[in-house]
Amino acid sequence: DQQVKQNSPSLSVQEGRISILNCDYTNSMFDYFLWYKKYPAEGPTFLISISSIKDKNEDGRFTVFLNKSAKHLSLHIVPSQPGDSAVYFCAATSGGSNYKLTFGKGTLLTVNP
């Protein structure tokens, strides 16, 4: 039973446009959500996070939105750049601790010049 779902295996956008990556979760105990970015042959790197007490968190070109009632979060990248091409993982945790991350399967984002 997958508790964190990224239903789009891949996404392709044009440079300068908005990229929207989606994530759904089933466990209502999750209270902290993170996005990680992964380049080939590298480990995942932390990108942005959001607590369940918020519905939006912004960091430069990256914004994460959380809809608790729908158990849905999304990552917006504006404007998208070719260097953003990577696999993006959504992750969630509960109990106020960051240690037990449950990851989705990831979405491969390709930003075309």
Partner 1 sequence: EAGVVQSPRYKIIEKKQPVAFWCNPISGHNTLYWYLQNLGQGPELLIRYENEEAVDDSQLPKDRFSAERLKGVDSTLKIQPAELGDSAVYLCASSLSPQGGDTQYFGPGTRLTVL
| Interface contacts to partner 1, rule CB under 8 A | 4, 32, 36, 41-46, 49, 51, 89, 91, 96-101, 103-106
- Closest distance of CB 2 from partner 1, Å: 9
State which residue, 71 or 105, has the beta carbon closest to partner 1: 105
State which residue, 96 or 113, has the beta carbon closest to partner 1: 96
- Closest distance of CB 84 from partner 1, Å: 18
Distance CA 103, CA 91 (A): 4
Find where tokens 């932390």 sit.
46
- Closest distance of CB 100 from partner 1, Å: 6
Stretch (H or E) spanning 94? strand 86-94
Distance CA 74, CA 71 (A): 10
The tokens describing 62, both together, are 């990256």
Instruction: Classify 69 as helix, strand or coil.
Output: coil
State which residue, 71 or 79, has the beta carbon closest to partner 1: 71
